[in-house]
Amino acid sequence: MLEITIDTEYIKLDQFLKLVDFASTGGHAKFLIQEGVVKVNGEVETRRGKKVRPGDIVEVEGQKIKVV
């Protein structure tokens, strides 16, 4: 599992997907989230504004990244 460090209290899910190169644009991130292929802590997440915080695990198509 990969780890990525953020230097803020949280990052919005759509921004996180762009940061880690799961999505190339905001529109692509929105599409992935709406299609239900993004999981946060094991549960499908459909809110692109979901706050991702240190300790959370984001998964897209079997690839997991832990936020630290």
Closest Cα partner for 40 from 51, 29, 28, 27? 51
Predicted pLDDT of residue 46: 96
Predicted pLDDT of residue 32: 96
Predicted pLDDT of residue 16: 96
Assigned token pair, 3: 């780890």
Q: What are phi and psi of 19, to 5 degrees?
A: -60, -40
Q: Would you kindly state where each structural domain of the chain is located, as residue ranges?
A: 2-67
Q: What are phi and psi of 63, to 5 degrees?
A: -95, 125
Predicted pLDDT of residue 23: 94
Predicted pLDDT of residue 33: 96
Domain spanning 2-67, CATH class = alpha beta
pLDDT of the chain, 68 residues: tens digit per residue:
899 999 999 999 999 999 999 999 999 999 999 999 999 999 999 999 999 999 999 999 899 999 99
